[in-house]
Amino acid sequence: MKKLSLAKLNDLFAAIAQREALYLPVDNGTGKAEYTKWQEGTVYSTALNTGRSAKDFFFPQTENLMEFKMEGKRIDVIDTREECEDFVIFGVRACDAASFDILDRVYLTDPVDTYYKNRRQHGTVVTMACGRPAETCFCGTFGIDAADPKGDVTCWTVEDGYVLRANTEKGEALLAAVDGLLTDTDDKAVQAAQEKTRAILAKLPLAALSTEGVGQGLTKELFDRPEWASLSEACLGCGTCTFVCPTCQCYDIRDFDTGHGIQRFRCWDSCMYSDFTKMAHGNPRVSQLERFRQRFMHKLVYFPDNNDGLFGCVGCGRCLARCPISMNIVKVMKTLAKGGNK
């Protein structure tokens, strides 16, 4: 393990930024933090989490795919991709780091999404262990340890600085490049910080939330449950939950006439929208109940069915904080569990 003094944090950012682009959470003046490219004077935010997740770096909200140039009956397909620059994301929390494994299973499984793969290969993730988890956090329900996050490098805030541990070859290369700012240390301070964080986690309102009642092999049991009607009744179908979610992966592909050709791009979409997956014959899910059920069945049943039991949620709590009618995955899980015990 390596240690960085509090006074040298900005020096660390400067050293990384000399090698590759660096992004870190920065307060945006609205009480929230967002990832911003570092430059001299940028102040690292100590907020628990960013308003939008780090998913954006690997699966951006909008992305150009290709262009079509037409001359008469001749159509040329032009690959508009440029080689992605190397970059570092600093300060990723355990929940967001765990979301990358979920996205990898979608986009790096054959057929591989080369756009996503390109960004993953060029990105280095430096995670930051949580020190003050919020009441909306429930990552532990899905086996995620906020006190020991994954990533290429894991960082802990300790009393007099930061302790860093490389977990991958990318992480080792990054720490080697800034080694002049670091000193060797043991894990005593890290253990103390972890104990404090885990003590807080154990007292949170959702600490006892379990996955009982959901998971693999429960499609038939849960699909026609009567509780879906009451759960979905107040849903506005606004899609806010899907856009702040670090694991949602749905997108639409559209063509735009530039006047000189056609630009094909993809953009995030939401299963909560009435026109999602609309085809020539219509929409397979015509009611809000069906769309609501699809979202939560996918995260809690369908995804685990196809991914060795791994749930499609990381317990970041963003949907709890942002839903305008306070309907979220926690309420769904609790309701389904209670109904199953009747």
Q: Are 240 and 168 in a shared domain?
A: no
User: pLDDT grade, residue 341 (50/70/90)?
Assistant: very low
Q: Are 96 and 154 in a shared domain?
A: yes
Average pLDDT rounded to a whole number, residues 216-235: 94
Average pLDDT rounded to a whole number, residues 14-28: 95
Average pLDDT rounded to a whole number, residues 80-109: 94
Which residues on neighbouring strands pair with residue 63, listed in sequence order?
266
> Which ranges of the chain would DSSP assign to H, the alpha helix?
9-19, 94-107, 114-122, 169-177, 188-203, 219-223, 227-232, 240-244, 288-297, 303-306, 318-322, 329-340
Given 203, 233, 265, the domain boundary residue is 203
pLDDT in tens, 106-139: 999 999 999 999 999 999 999 999 999 999 999 9
Model pLDDT, residue 223:
95
Q: Are 232 and 137 in a shared domain?
A: no
Q: Are 243 and 196 in a shared domain?
A: no
User: pLDDT grade, residue 73 (50/70/90)?
Assistant: confident
Given 177, 203, 229, the domain boundary residue is 203
Q: Are 161 and 12 in a shared domain?
A: yes
Q: Is residue 84 predicted with pLDDT exceeding 90?
A: no
User: pLDDT grade, residue 58 (50/70/90)?
Assistant: very high
Quote the domain boundaries for residue 238.
219-340
Q: Are 120 and 20 in a shared domain?
A: yes
Model pLDDT, residue 29:
80
pTM here? 0.91
Q: Are 196 and 256 in a shared domain?
A: no
Q: Is residue 271 in some structural domain?
A: yes
Q: Is residue 283 predicted with pLDDT exceeding 70?
A: no
Q: Is residue 246 in some structural domain?
A: yes
CB atoms within 10 A of CB 280: 4
Q: Is residue 333 in some structural domain?
A: yes
- Distance between CA atoms of residues 171 and 282, nearest Å: 48
User: pLDDT grade, residue 328 (50/70/90)?
Assistant: very high
pLDDT > 70: percent of the chain: 97
Average pLDDT rounded to a whole number, residues 215-237: 94
Q: Is residue 265 in some structural domain?
A: yes
Q: Are 225 and 307 in a shared domain?
A: yes
Q: Kindly state the tokens that stand for 333.
A: 């899980």
Model pLDDT, residue 141:
97
- Are residues 172 and 151 in contact, defined by beta-carbon separation less than 8 angstroms? no
Q: Are 81 and 176 in a shared domain?
A: yes
> Please, what sign has the CA dihedral across residues 80, 242, 102, 191?
positive
Q: Are 180 and 239 in a shared domain?
A: no
pLDDT in tens, 288-304: 999 999 999 999 999 99
Q: Is residue 279 predicted with pLDDT exceeding 70?
A: no
User: pLDDT grade, residue 281 (50/70/90)?
Assistant: low
Q: Are 20 and 100 in a shared domain?
A: yes
Which residues on neighbouring strands pair with residue 266, listed in sequence order?
63, 253
Number of domains within the chain:
2
Q: Is residue 280 predicted with pLDDT exceeding 70?
A: no
- Are residues 116 and 107 in contact, defined by beta-carbon separation less than 8 angstroms? yes
Q: Are 132 and 95 in a shared domain?
A: yes
pLDDT in tens, 150-185: 999 999 999 999 999 999 999 999 999 999 999 999
Given 153, 173, 203, the domain boundary residue is 203
Average pLDDT rounded to a whole number, residues 82-91: 90
Q: Is residue 239 in some structural domain?
A: yes
